Structure 1
Amino acid sequence: MSGLDWPALMRVGLNRLGLQPDAFWRLTPVELRIMLGAGAVPPLTRARLEELVRAYPDAGKGRDDG
């Protein structure tokens, strides 16, 4: 299960946004977020990637880095 409240998302999409069901199901999650006013997820920058690598290192997890 995805953890998303699909009935609520469908009500908003069909009722508030006035979408037809086929148009709702063709949307990507990012497109739906933008239409609902939540904005887009910012792109992953090199600095953010390096921050994540430091926070969640792969070393010692059975991976051969060399």
Structure 2
Amino acid sequence: MADWGAMLRAAVAMGISPEAFWRLSLKEWRMLTVSAGAASMRRRELDEMMRAWPDDRRLSIRRAGRRAREGGGSGGGAGGVAGARRACGVLD
């Protein structure tokens, strides 16, 4: 859980008004508070996040197509987009 009080106090110490603090996006807040040498997200972490929260169905179709091409998908052995669409239940 975020310590909003500590974050607000840090913002005020940086000269950011409370009103401006509450308008900041999380990305903006991180840019203001994370040191320049901080580690960025690793590819593995990005892949895990993408699996946990896919953007849309097209992403799932692309992944199913990749699995089908690599021999790990369902689709009757057919690879490519057609196999991916079948694996995701998308009908033309």
User: What band does the TM-score fall into relative to the shorter chain?
Assistant: 0.5 to 0.7
**Inter-partner Cα distance in structure 2 for 1:51 and 1:8:** 27
Report the Cα distance in structure 2 between the residues aligned to 1:22 and 1:8, rounded to whole angstroms.
15
Q: Does 1:28 align with 2:51?
A: no
Does residue 65 of structure 1 match 2:88? Answer: yes
Of the three residues 6, 9, 12, the one matched with 2:7 is 9
The TM-score normalised by the length of structure 2 is 0.40
Q: Which runs of 5+ in 1 are unaligned?
A: 54-63
Percent of aligned pairs with the same residue? 31
Residue 31 to residue 49, structure 1, CA distance change in 2 (3 Å): same
Q: CA deviation at 1:52?
A: 5.1
Deviation at 1:51, TM superposition (A): 8.7
- In the alignment of these two chains, the number of paired residues is 48
Bigger fraction of residues in helix:
2
Larger radius of gyration: 2
Q: RMSD between aligned alpha carbons?
A: 3.0
TM-score w.r.t. length of structure 1: 0.54
